[in-house]
Structure 1
């Protein structure tokens, strides 16, 4: 036999062995799936038949499904039939209802926000109204989710509600017709400096791109020469809307994001396909720990093309793509199918998405786990999770006393009280301020109420005492620890005075919301918004702005 024939036969044999091996592995996998499904089915049957207590078959199945999916990633979820509507609202920003945001404060169900031009506003509902009944049923034992479901329904149908209002002795009754509610993705835009435009984008729901586009066009017509795009706290949304928003600032044809998954059909590249509004206007993008997904695509694209400076904190790090797959009985599976990659080639998904800080941030990533990439101008950027800002601004947050006053509803209730005592007043969102006299009224009003709280320092001292006691050192440190606790207790008595500035700002925003809704709250917050202040400084400092967008020499 010729040598060439031997080689051909050998290659064919190797190929055949490989094919058989692949087929065996494939069959093994199918057998494993069938075997485990059979085990699960028989276990489920036996459990429902013989378990000592009565079990709800639906609840126990959902528990099993959720536990299985929890072992994968946080975004692969089972959506039962009764939660499909909630998922649709999250995806589109649209639903049929009356146009309110409900919340619970100290076992009271209250109207936290009324959307502009909504059926609720037209009917006369106000922020601060306490919900008592829905369709003649008392709601004191209902959860906020249950109340929201009852307020939603088919367009044109009516819902009867009964509320308690601070300024009225008797309960008020309303019959409100449900309408299609579109939650505005751009609740506020305007000029915050003589030549700086500000656009707040809160979610990437349907139409977000066109809303940002029209806002920028309008503001440029008013003389805007620079722009701040605020994506702080924006959890993301529709992928195509992130393309639309990016396209406003970058040329047609540029890649915005690509996806890569196990199945080839999910490997796609998305490019800007429209004419931009302005590819040269100086841009600052505000991001925070809770800016995720579509927000990170936009911020990442702006950074990778050196199109604008990112200001704030490292973003959330959600770079996983989800798709919904239909299941039986009108349920669905939201399943992760791919990962996002921004133009520099880096993935925005956090390396470890199961362990995060309390505020949702990723925390420090070891250098050994990060890979270096470069922007178009040659600036060095890294993967490892989220997008890092070009200009860091530490978000200090509120002091424990302010958080407790908000949590307990005291700031909310005082704002409602102030509104009904000054209903004819129309305070300017920016010019209005909490005077010392008004703040004194607030401190007197809250003085008899329980707003006790534990600081992080007190928690640390508690841990120190427990550790010292375990180590037999407590007797040596007892006097010093007691003195420290007494000092903190003494200072806490003065917290209303020490933290008066930030409490006043929280009061201002809440009071303004009663008169000007969401738009007013956002506008009034600029008074003490460090990230906005830093963005303004950067945009007004041409040299620093350009330096941040250039590669280090």
Structure 2
């Protein structure tokens, strides 16, 4: 990091000092330091012993300068603007296929329903060999990703390798406008509980949630689960629209406060709600951030729903994008946001870095208490604390390795070519016989890993050597290592439940795409099960929300 900051250091220093100067002096300091930066760059470019790439040099300086502020203030050059636009709008020109790299292979991991990839015969599990006539083995991940996307209406061909087919298959497509759904799934869990999975906050997120809620109420929903787990956020206005579904018109949802008065804004619900009475359960976890936290925090502040799961990420900062020269853009943090009670849930204090440049969490002693509508106590400065905490089941290192190296993916691909499609996703179960076939299939596979216990034992051994105790403990350490190695021979049986769950989701997604993968996961989902229990238990629901 020190090396990366060398180039823009003068500019970074002046940004700190400018806060203590008047307007005229500020403009002089800006001009002076920009001149210093320009002349420094010219001298380095002219005199440095090796050839330097001016684009790389300046990009390094810009990135280091912005990194000294916060992780969300970023420079977006022209060649990355399209990807940035895709993230913010959920739209791009393509065929509707998602790929992933497994080793040196690029494989199709998901097909979006109703788009060209599905209609043109592409299948999950296909290995992409060529895009048009360019071999993927000769391209970077970024280059191949750019080739898949393109202008709507333009042709593109994929050459793929498929299980059971000797020769590669060439498939032709025409790129179309792809809209990634904010709500990839909604349906009933149980006879009277609605489930809505919200994965993004791009345009129309509020509309998609409303349509799902209306449809599920028509099916008899008496309670609703809004799943925000892993949702990184997005457009603030869509968070307002979603809370508006459950809150009356004219209610404060969120306020923003920044250095410039124009950024001090209040956002209220503007429309008539869909339902202000239906019981609501909101699911969050460590991956729920930004707009997700606005929705969860606002409903919590008004005691409009029970929040379940883990503490959320803790991102209470607002960004806007600004155009720069040469079609580039700046995404810059302009304000902090506050929930209706007045709490900011930002967990890291980027404005007060330590001497070494690191950032610390806001200490508990500085966190403030706030009261919800019904008098419950909530706190700022640390994400959204759930009303009902649920400890997640951590994936064992073995399970992670099997997923990351693609063994679960590859077995699922082979499975579907040998078995007929199941009747439905929810009731699919991988039989014990099928799982035994997976164990047999894994016998010649390399999936070595270190367990948490092995990491701990390694650290213990290193400390023992430092303290000169290792020779006395060597025999015991080696005995433990041997017993661990013996136990690992049965590890695929020991962690069957976790591995089988991933296998079932991967297999079902081949038949029923993303919706199927979500549905088959319900039977293992402890958070969903707990939410159903809370919504079915009216006295408990009222007690949690302090409803008199």
TM-score in same-fold range (> 0.5): yes
| Rounded Cα–Cα distance in structure 1 between residues aligned with 2:82 and 2:162 | 31
**In 2, are the aligned partners of 1:512 and 1:524 still within 8 Å (CA)?**
yes
**In 1, are the aligned partners of 2:320 and 2:332 still within 8 Å (CA)?**
yes
Please report the TM-score for the alignment, with normalisation by the length of structure 2: 0.93
Paired position in structure 2 for 1:34:
31
Give the Å deviation of 1:425.
2.1
| Rounded Cα–Cα distance in structure 1 between residues aligned with 2:496 and 2:26 | 64
Paired position in structure 1 for 2:42:
45
Paired position in structure 2 for 1:342:
339
Paired position in structure 1 for 2:14:
none
Paired position in structure 2 for 1:441:
437
Summarize deviations over 1:188-242 as a string: whole Å, max 9, x none.
1111011100000000111111110011101000100001000000011111111
| Rounded Cα–Cα distance in structure 2 between residues aligned with 1:132 and 1:47 | 43
How do 1:242-281 and structure 2 match up within 5 A? 242-281=239-278
| Rounded Cα–Cα distance in structure 2 between residues aligned with 1:186 and 1:143 | 31
| Rounded Cα–Cα distance in structure 1 between residues aligned with 2:466 and 2:286 | 37
Does residue 498 (structure 1) correspond to residue 494 (structure 2)? The answer is yes
How do 1:403-422 and structure 2 match up within 5 A? 403-422=400-419
The verdict on how the C-alpha distance between 1:174 and 1:502 changes in structure 2, with shifts beyond 3 A counting, is same
**In 2, are the aligned partners of 1:250 and 1:279 still within 8 Å (CA)?**
yes
Summarize deviations over 1:346-403 as a string: whole Å, max 9, x none.
0021134699xxxxxx998642131111111110000112111000001122211111
Paired position in structure 2 for 1:510:
506
From 184, 188, 191, the counterpart of 2:188: 191
Max Rg structure: 1
Please report the TM-score for the alignment, with normalisation by the length of structure 1: 0.92
SS of the residue aligned with 1:336?
Answer: strand
**In 2, are the aligned partners of 1:284 and 1:308 still within 8 Å (CA)?**
yes
**In 2, are the aligned partners of 1:102 and 1:144 still within 8 Å (CA)?**
no
Give the Å deviation of 1:488.
1.5
**In 1, are the aligned partners of 2:284 and 2:309 still within 8 Å (CA)?**
yes
Return 5+ residue gaps in structure 1 as ranges.
1-21, 356-361
SS of the residue aligned with 1:493?
Answer: helix
From 452, 455, 460, the counterpart of 1:456: 452
Does residue 541 (structure 1) correspond to residue 534 (structure 2)? The answer is no
| Rounded Cα–Cα distance in structure 2 between residues aligned with 1:260 and 1:363 | 22
**In 1, are the aligned partners of 2:243 and 2:299 still within 8 Å (CA)?**
yes
| Rounded Cα–Cα distance in structure 1 between residues aligned with 2:164 and 2:253 | 53
**In 2, are the aligned partners of 1:110 and 1:128 still within 8 Å (CA)?**
yes
| Rounded Cα–Cα distance in structure 2 between residues aligned with 1:513 and 1:373 | 44
Paired position in structure 2 for 1:329:
326
Summarize deviations over 1:507-531 as a string: whole Å, max 9, x none.
1000000000000000111011011
**In 2, are the aligned partners of 1:139 and 1:147 still within 8 Å (CA)?**
yes
The verdict on how the C-alpha distance between 1:390 and 1:322 changes in structure 2, with shifts beyond 3 A counting, is same
Does residue 98 (structure 1) correspond to residue 108 (structure 2)? The answer is no
Give the Å deviation of 1:146.
2.0
Summarize deviations over 1:136-175 as a string: whole Å, max 9, x none.
1111143333211101110100012111001211000012
From 480, 488, 501, the counterpart of 1:484: 480
Moved more, 25-34 or 61-70: 25-34
**In 2, are the aligned partners of 1:427 and 1:512 still within 8 Å (CA)?**
no
Does residue 380 (structure 1) correspond to residue 377 (structure 2)? The answer is yes
**In 2, are the aligned partners of 1:204 and 1:241 still within 8 Å (CA)?**
yes
How do 1:177-256 and structure 2 match up within 5 A? 177-256=174-253
| Rounded Cα–Cα distance in structure 2 between residues aligned with 1:110 and 1:378 | 52
**In 2, are the aligned partners of 1:310 and 1:390 still within 8 Å (CA)?**
yes
| Rounded Cα–Cα distance in structure 2 between residues aligned with 1:23 and 1:458 | 53
| Rounded Cα–Cα distance in structure 1 between residues aligned with 2:483 and 2:414 | 35
Summarize deviations over 1:413-457 as a string: whole Å, max 9, x none.
0111011112x4234211110111000111101111001111122
| Rounded Cα–Cα distance in structure 2 between residues aligned with 1:476 and 1:544 | 57
Does residue 298 (structure 1) correspond to residue 295 (structure 2)? The answer is yes
- Count of matched residue pairs: 524
Summarize deviations over 1:231-256 as a string: whole Å, max 9, x none.
00001111111111110011111011
